[in-house]
Chains A and B, each alone.
Chain A
Amino acid sequence: MSAAQLIVRGVSHAFARNEVLADIDFSVQAGQVVALVGPSGCGKTTLLNLCAGLLHVREGAIENGFAEAAYMFQQPRLLPWKTTLDNIALGLKAAGMARGERHYRARELALRLGLVHEDLDKFPHQLSGGMQSRVALARALVLQPDLLLLDEPFSALDIGLKAELYELLLAQLAERDMGVLMITHDLMEAVRLSDLILVMTAAPGRIVCRFELSRPAAQRDDAWVYRRTAELLQDATVRESFALPPLAVAAPLVNDEGDGELRRLDAPSSVLPFPRARAGCR
């Protein structure tokens, strides 16, 4: 179990002549939540698709040591002609599990994720957006994955629903030693859930700096999340990657803050050749 990890080494990717990813390096360990943050269009989804094996790796290497990976997309992407229960059990059916067994597992998990019995026989269009997201989460978790790939699955939900789904997700993470790779453009979401934040920038997509969060996710309260998010937003590299104007007064670097709960790791040297990255990361 502890040996399982996802290693991404020197991955670059291009669609036709359009370079979307350049020299990406990182790894996800079992039990670790890694967040990829960056502006829209910086190649996050491409990177996740590469990790999921939905795209072929052209350059570099991705080694996935996890036995079972599950993917949760930006939209719920439920099959409209299947009931909630059958949608949740899709991955189990694909793996060849018998009908009774997969329905049993799907039902049990669905109820734990806050769906009620009546919902299970409904079709997706009869469910609210929040319920559909729950179903999508259940569809991924029912596989008992040891690697969970999340593509901004909560971005369309209101903050109350988001908070609820974070709770559910964290509870599941606590139960199992699951590695999570999530992409988001919501810094607060990254600060709330992840152990390691990789900040990406666009054209071509690359990692410009990394932050480590040492406090366990379960112990992070709202105040802590707001403070760390604010700290993160004062970082010049982060501002630049999201095309925010630089701060008038130079803010103290994250590392100078003192308590070390949000710690900036050295930016990988590979980003240096790109002129935009140089300004921010030194």
Chain B
Amino acid sequence: MRLLRAWLQGLPAYLWSGWGAVASLLLFVAAWEAVAAYYGPLVMPDPRSAFGTLYELIQSGAAWPELAATARRALIGFTLALVVGSVLGLIAGVSMTASMMSRPLVTVLLGTPPIAWLVLAMLWFGASDGTPVFTVFVASFPVVFVGALQGARTLDNNLRTMAEAFRVPRRMMFVDVYLPHVVSYLFPAWIAALGISWKVVVMAELLSTQDGVGAALAVSRSHLDTASTMAWIVAVVGLLLAVEYLLLEPIKREVERWREAAT
């Protein structure tokens, strides 16, 4: 509740500070327009037709079911990775042996390209939701895991002794001493994992499913419909930007207000 209020209070100032970001995005759109004017609409449709197509897609109601399907798969995979990664990472971080053992495994997981997982997932799960969900999970799990592991490994022993000397009870020890520290590592990892989920799910859908943004991209590619291809890309990227900068970034700022105020 307090977080929600702080979020609402901070929003206007935060949005105002975003003009710089908006300007740089608009520069990017201008560059896009220049490329489109040079190469012609078949190679690169101009921004106006891409946004126009997106508007039509939204107006006709065709966009929402696809976006919802994509979001559902991304969120299921992301949530699984978040829960499993956080829990396992914290457990591994507490034990020295477990963290030494898990490090090479995590490197293997991080180093395996998501497309390889996708091929395996298609063999295992076929054309069901399982394929994109699994791929998303596998791609974002190690990121969360490493964040949790780091958080647990870097717990400050001095602060724990201090809290013991002040006879801090167990529950308070967890909420006031351990949790804020761990969250400061976990939260950035969660945000990174969400970005990965969102990208990987589209890739997985492109190759394996009949609906969702990825599938729609596959269809527009086969029709050589570059305008709607760009429209879908704009929709996916726009949604990610909105979630990250309107929701997560302000929360992150509020949660980590105690860190160096070097903004």
Contact = CB atoms under 8 A, between A and B. Distances in A.
Interface of A: 52, 54, 70-71, 73, 75, 77, 79-82, 90-91, 93-95, 123-126, 139, 143
Interface string B145-185: 00000000000001101111111110010001100110010
A125 B260 contact: yes
6 contacts: A70-B166, A90-B163, A90-B168, A91-B166, A124-B258, A139-B166
Given A70-B166, A82-B258, A91-B167, 16 more contacts: A54-B164, A71-B166, A73-B165, A77-B158, A77-B162, A80-B258, A81-B180, A81-B181, A93-B176, A94-B163, A94-B169, A123-B257, A124-B258, A125-B260, A139-B166, A143-B166
B258 A73 contact: no
B261 interface: yes
A229 B166 CA distance: 34
Contacts of B163: 90, 94
Interface core residue of A81, A82, A90 (most chain B CB under 10 Å): A81
A143 B176 CA distance: 19
Contacts of A139: 166
Contact of A82 (B161, B176, B259): B176
A77 B177 CA distance: 12
A73 B169 CA distance: 19
Contacts of A95: 167
A93 B164 CA distance: 13
Interface core residue of B168, B180, B258 (most chain A CB under 10 Å): B258
Interface core residue of B159, B165, B168 (most chain A CB under 10 Å): B165
Interface core residue of A79, A82, A125, A126 (most chain B CB under 10 Å): A79
Nearest to B168: A94
Contact of B258 (A75, A91, A125, A143): A125
Contact of A77 (B159, B180, B261): B159
A79 B158 contact: no
B172 A54 contact: no
Nearest to A71: B165
B176 A73 contact: no
Contacts of A73: 158, 161-162, 165
Interface in B218-263: 257-261
B66 to A, nearest CB: 41
Interface string B43-67: 0000000000000000000000000
Contacts of B159: 77, 79
Given A79-B176, A79-B177, A93-B172, A54 B166 contact: no
A91 B158 CA distance: 16
Contacts of B176: 79, 82, 90, 93
Nearest to A77: B162
Interface core residue of A54, A94, A139 (most chain B CB under 10 Å): A94
A133 B169 CA distance: 24
Interface string B187-225: 000000000000000000000000000000000000000
A90 B177 CA distance: 11
A126 B261 CA distance: 8
Contacts of B169: 94
A95 B165 CA distance: 12
Contact of A75 (B158, B168, B257): B158
A166 B88 CA distance: 48
B209 to A, nearest CB: 43
B167 to A, nearest CB: 5
A125 B161 CA distance: 20
B162 A94 contact: no
A81 B168 contact: no
A81 B257 CA distance: 8
A231 B162 CA distance: 36
A52 B162 CA distance: 11
Nearest to A48: B165
B183 to A, nearest CB: 9
B161 A54 contact: yes
B216 to A, nearest CB: 44
Interface in B107-150: none
Contacts of A82: 176, 258
Contacts of A124: 258
A139 B167 CA distance: 13
The 3 closest A-B pairs by CB, nearest first: A71-B165, A81-B180, A81-B258
A267 B96 CA distance: 46
A206 to B, nearest CB: 24
B259 to A, nearest CB: 8
B131 to A, nearest CB: 41
A124 B167 CA distance: 21
Contacts of B184: 81
A81 B184 CA distance: 10
B158 A94 contact: no
A77 B168 CA distance: 14
Contacts of B172: 93-94
Contacts of A71: 162, 165-166
A93 B180 CA distance: 17
